Amino acid sequence: MAAEQDLKLDDGKAAGEASSGGGKKKLILIIVGIVLLIAVAVGATLFLVGGDSSDEETADKEAVVEEEPLLPAQYVILKPEFVVSFQVGSRQRFLQASIDIMTRKQTVVDALTLHEPMIRNDIIRVIGEQNFDRLRTAEGRVELQELLLQQVRQIVQRESGVEGVEALLFTNFVMQ
């Protein structure tokens, strides 16, 4: 009987060992499955976020070569304000305008400062040549702004040989 009990105990141990070995196999399979799942998720994320980096890097390098970094805008305020008189019929009319010029280059700021008397003269001349009633309309003011911008660009280019006048801004525009 003792021999039968030993056999039964041995069979029980063998069955327990088999089940614990199977549990270890299941645990290893689960861990491997989780690791594979994480690896696939990371790979998919990198693929979607990264894309084809070789083409993008080439395009980025070309863009960097073509474009120089934008510097902060600098404004040259032409002081005092411009006051121009108009003869409209039998009445005397006036226009007062404050003008700022925007650029991103220090060389253009220096050129604008150096040639300010010539720029002011041409601005007053161009404004004086305009039709007073046309300047009362939004389209007339936009046309004047474009005309003055081209005039200032031309003076700066001719006198200093630099380009970079980006905008001419009316910061005050009063007509009476």
Q: Report which of 93, 68, 99, 94 is spatially closest to residue 83, judged by C-alpha positions.
A: 94
For the chain, the distance separating the N- and C-terminal CA atoms, rounded to the nearest angstrom, is: 127
Task: Report the pLDDT averaged over residues 17-29.
Answer: 73
**CB of 147 closer than 8 Å to CB of 134:** no
pLDDT one-digit tens code per residue, 118-134: 999 999 999 999 999 99
Under DSSP, the state recorded for 89 is T
pLDDT one-digit tens code per residue, 102-119: 999 999 999 999 999 999
6 has pLDDT over 70: no
Range scoring the smallest mean pLDDT among 13-17, 32-36, 128-132, 142-146? 13-17
**CB of 127 closer than 8 Å to CB of 84:** yes
55 has pLDDT over 80: no
pLDDT confidence of residue 80:
95
62 has pLDDT over 80: no
CA distances from 55 to 42, 46, 60, 62 (A): 22, 16, 9, 11
How far is the C-alpha of 109 from the C-alpha of 116, rounded, in Å? 10
66 has pLDDT over 80: no
Helices (H), the chain: 2-50, 53-66, 106-114, 116-128, 132-135, 138-160
pLDDT confidence of residue 99:
97
pLDDT confidence of residue 61:
57
pLDDT confidence of residue 19:
54
Q: Report which of 68, 65, 98 is spatially closest to residue 82, judged by C-alpha positions.
A: 98
Taking residue 43's Cβ as centre, other Cβ atoms within 10 Å add up to 10
User: At 27, which amino acid appears?
Assistant: L
How far is the C-alpha of 139 from the C-alpha of 122, rounded, in Å? 21
pTM of the model: 0.61
**Do strands 165-175 and 91-103 pair parallel, antiparallel, or not at all (unpaired)?**
antiparallel
pLDDT confidence of residue 7:
53
Give the rounded percent of residues in the chain with a pLDDT score beyond 90: 60
pLDDT confidence of residue 5:
56
